[in-house]
Amino acid sequence: MKRNLLLFLISVGMILPVALNAQEKFNAETLWKLGRLSDVQYSPVDNSFIYGVTWYNAETNKSNRDIWRLDKNAESPRKLTEFEGSEFNAIWRPDGKKIGFLSAESGDVQIWEMGINGEDKKQVSHVEGGINGFSYSPDMKHIVYIKDVKIEKDVHDLHPDLPLADAMIYNDLMYRHWDSWHDYAYSHVFVAPYSDGNVGEGKDIMSGEPFDSPLTPWGGMEQIAWAPDGKTLAYTCKKEKGKDYAISTNSDIYLYNLASGETTNISKDNPGYDQDPVFSPDGSKIVWRSMETPGFEADKDRIMLCEINPKSLEGVKKGIEPKKTASGKQLVMTSHVFTDLSEGFDQSSTSFKFSPDGKQLYFISGIHATYQVYRIDLATRKITQLTQGDHDIQAFALDGNDLIITKMRHDLPSEVFRVKPDGSEEQLTFTNREILKNVTFGKSEKRWITTTDGKQMLVWVILPPNFDKNKKYPALLYCQGGPQSAVSQFFSYRWNFQMMAAHDYVIVAPNRRGLPTFGQEWNDQISGDYGGQNMLDYLTAIDSVATEPWVDENRLGAIGASYGGFSVYWLAGNHNKRFKAFIAHCGIFNFESMYLETEEMFFVNFDYGGPFWEKPRPKSYDFSPHNFVGNWDTPMLVIHGGYDFRIPYTQGMQAFNANQLLGIPSRFLFFPNETHFVLKPQNSILWHREFYKWLDTYLK
């Protein structure tokens, strides 16, 4: 069931940085030469940190990831691994003397260890079938790891006399999710004894349970946490199945006691998402991000604090009053104290870290289409924004009074920086300096535009490199997906604003209604109103920028993926001839068929207001783009992936077929083996070639 490892394990092959000639154009080939930095881990004993960099080779369609280390005063980082395959999930052992990581060097993915300089690499686990993630207990007596466990019977178990049969049999919903069919296996959490250089036999703490931890498909080890004493493990799980799973967002935080083997649900009273637990340094508290509204995947991520009652834990250890549920494993604890630390803070929060003394909590939150580091004082509940600037901070670590951050911008792939208390920054890594040193990026401008209902909307306007205000440029309206995902300072490897600008297009990227970082009211407004105010916001943004003397209002296009693809389909029937070209990737075309084709039913139930057969019929279905096909008259490129189960490719087929039947110039670009995203290097390069060929045909 776990799919988050596949990108690291697809295959091998490394491409070395090569300097480009002066003033090279930023294109898809250059994009796939960039090293992708991630997963920075700060040393527990000194000022060094480790991180991973993935390189792709477009010629072989393969990738390779290595682990690097940078000391505080070093001029350059040191590469620690050079296996043929990829190494990932690199973490420091709690004593700082070893670095653990995952590798498939010997076949299955296993835990390896090495010295802090990359010496003495040794495989330390031998788990049958391999593992997907791991971490050390703080006392170094145990390791927790996750692996897939087959629980249910497949067609060959049911019909052993038909070994060549190729079929799947299901009796309930959630038989496929995002990009994969259910394979009768579940991701489970295992605890294994550990001594220096040896991982013992693991115990499945979810034995027999048909549930996943971490949550599929995107969850990782951030959803599992050790208590400081190494005696309790917190993990995230959504203990629902089939139809109940499909219509619910009710995940919870469970505490597993290693001594008693008992499991306790500490977030059972919250009906929405609860995930990513983090213990305080003394183990007396645990925080996690929590959504209050059931079925709403884009609700505010609150900072939920649980002050653990030691007597309740002692009761669990000794088996006192074991109020067991029907499963016989979960106990109910009612004497903890719960507090929403973010009450009155109109922003979502994530990536929690306690200060060493446990008195302050640091976290990342989005504000005005940027992501910054904040701090809350637990005694006074005062929240302070610590970083400023137009950037997206993706991760951070504490180094005394300094912050070590990973951040990106429209013109900067992810790199590591040190931030001083006065706000000054020092860039620490320069992964792509040689590749990008001769590339000229366009300027990204921030504008506040008044909407039709009198509110202020932030719009990014990205100008072509070497912008000439005396020229007339075609412009592209970028329609964001999600639907609730901020148009922030992301550096995308798919919808890259700088690459669009490098093709001499002005990019108009509005943070229309329904996007986070502008307060929950702005974020929530879109649900049930897909064809309403957010569409007016789109048109306001493009109309405003089109008045600039350097924009040719007769050469406007609209592009987008997912909800952005839906937006393009909707605009195609309601744009009043503003646009001359459309590109829709994996968009929703027909709400009625989408309702019965998608898998996360909680999403369409919440955003559409329920099934189309309800009486009265939910108003949202009136916004379905297929209702407006009679107004379509503009050339359209439709793109979809065969393994996209979030928005099945039949939605794209319907849109393309409609264009063809109407005699509208149209093209269908289909990737049989891609998902909601186009992730393979040569497929991505092909995607970009077709993308710009279409735009250049109708806008230049």
Give the span between the Cα atoms of 671 and 641, in whole angstroms: 5
Encoded amino acid at 270, one letter: N
DSSP category for residue 222? G
Q: How wide is the angle at C-alpha 23 spanned by C-alphas 17 and 24, nearest 5°?
A: 50
CA 283 vs. chain centroid, Å, equals 29
Whether 690 and 572 have beta carbons less than 8 Å apart is answered as no
Nearest C-alpha neighbor of 573 from the set 534, 630, 528: 630
* Cα dihedral sign, 609-614-619-622: positive
The count of C-alpha atoms lying within 13 angstroms of the C-alpha of 665, restricted to the half-sphere facing its C-beta, is 10
- The first and second tokens of residue 450, run together, are 């008044």
Q: Write the CA distances from 308 to 243, 280, 288, 336, 398, integer angstroms.
A: 33, 10, 13, 5, 25
Q: Which residues pair with 148 in a beta bridge?
A: 187
Give the span between the Cα atoms of 152 and 172, in whole angstroms: 13
Whether 396 and 414 have beta carbons less than 8 Å apart is answered as no
CA gyration radius, the chain: 26
Give the span between the Cα atoms of 135 and 95, in whole angstroms: 13
Nearest C-alpha neighbor of 479 from the set 575, 383, 344, 611: 575
DSSP category for residue 542? H
Whether 271 and 294 have beta carbons less than 8 Å apart is answered as yes
User: Which are the catalytic amino acids?
Assistant: 562, 644, 676
